Amino acid sequence: MIFNFGKILSSFHVCHYYCLLIMVLSIVLVSISFQNFSFSQMQANSSPQDLQTIKTNTSENFVIPFGDTNNDRRNPVEYVFDEPKSSNWIISIYNNLSYYNSPDSKTIIKLQERPPSEKFVELMLFGNQSKRFIVSVNTNDTGYIRMYENNQNGWSTDGPVIVSHANVQGLTVTNGKRIVLDKLGMEGFDVGSIIVYGKDDSASPDSTFAGSVQFQVLSGDYSQSVLYYMPLIMVVVVGGTVITLLVIKKRR
């Protein structure tokens, strides 16, 4: 049965509208607070040791300010996990950086296994107006291979850039809008650390002047995370509210 919500809501008393509006706004605020709570607040130019994190059994979240993204490749910022994220994991990257208007302005993010493994996934997110996006993979057997490249509007801020790995499905990468690399077999990938930098050498000009990069990491049985169920919770609560108001109206 398909409900005509327009007719249903038009028959409600004004107070019902207020109740529904308050409930929906409350759900939105709770959802936003969960997302914002997942990230630590950082000060610009903080050192890697100053990075504050929020950790649970299945999630780990941290923020890297723009000042640290201007480090060069010989002195990158490195976030090391207490234990490698193995088998099943999802890393969401929220790139909120403001870039200088230069074709060389970029942020490089490397997800890598612990030494002596040479395995890593490298993301290159260029600023300027191009938003060039490059995804490369390095393994002990094949070496460094560029797997995906888009020189124009390659990544988007509409959503996070997501890198995920699963035992059966392999490695998947999205660009903020869609999947650009799907089910790449890497014979397992245990992320031990995340490296971030933006300059090829110390003499190069800075790439960014404001903002931050936020990382949200879910691993293991991440279905146990509250964030995983938040969309479902919102649907259930909104639906329950509408049904409750229908029952109250019917009784009156």
Element (H, E) at 237: helix 226-251
pLDDT, position 129: 86
The proportion of the chain whose per-residue pLDDT surpasses 70, expressed as a percent, equals: 68
The angle subtended at Cα 107 by Cα 101 and Cα 113, nearest 5°, is 170
The proportion of the chain whose per-residue pLDDT surpasses 90, expressed as a percent, equals: 58
Q: Cα-Cα-Cα-Cα dihedral of 68, 69, 71, 73, to 10°?
A: 140
Q: Is the pLDDT of residue 9 over 50?
A: no
Lowest mean pLDDT among 47-51, 149-153, 183-187: 47-51
Q: Is the pLDDT of residue 153 over 80?
A: yes
Q: Is the pLDDT of residue 44 over 90?
A: no
Residue 83 dihedral angles phi and psi, to the nearest 5°: -130, 140
What is the DSSP secondary structure assignment for residue 43, as one 8-state letter?
A: -
88-124 pLDDT per residue, tens? 999 999 999 999 999 999 999 999 999 999 999 999 9
* CA-wise closest residue to 163 among 155, 171, 153: 171
137-147 pLDDT per residue, tens? 999 888 999 99
Better pLDDT: 32 or 125: 125
Better pLDDT: 148 or 29: 148
Give the domains, in start order, of the chain with CATH numbers.
Answer: 51-226 (2.60.120.200)
Whole-angstrom distance, CA of residue 90 vs CA of residue 130: 27
Whole-angstrom distance, CA of residue 111 vs CA of residue 79: 10
Q: Is the pLDDT of residue 59 over 60?
A: yes
Whole-angstrom distance, CA of residue 77 vs CA of residue 121: 16
Residues constituting the chain: 252
Three-state secondary structure call for residue 243:
helix
Better pLDDT: 155 or 8: 155
Q: Is the pLDDT of residue 227 over 90?
A: no
Whole-angstrom distance, CA of residue 107 vs CA of residue 127: 8
* CA-wise closest residue to 133 among 159, 106, 98, 110: 106
Strand 161-166 vs strand 143-150: parallel, antiparallel, or unpaired?
unpaired
- What does the pLDDT average to over 39-57? 53
Mean pLDDT of the chain: 80
155-201 pLDDT per residue, tens? 999 999 999 999 888 999 999 999 999 999 888 899 999 999 999 99
Element (H, E) at 180: strand 179-184
Q: Is the pLDDT of residue 6 over 80?
A: no
Element (H, E) at 140: none
- Contacts with 155 (C-beta within 8 Å, 6 or more apart), sequence order: 95, 125, 131, 133, 161, 175, 176
Q: Is the pLDDT of residue 52 over 70?
A: no
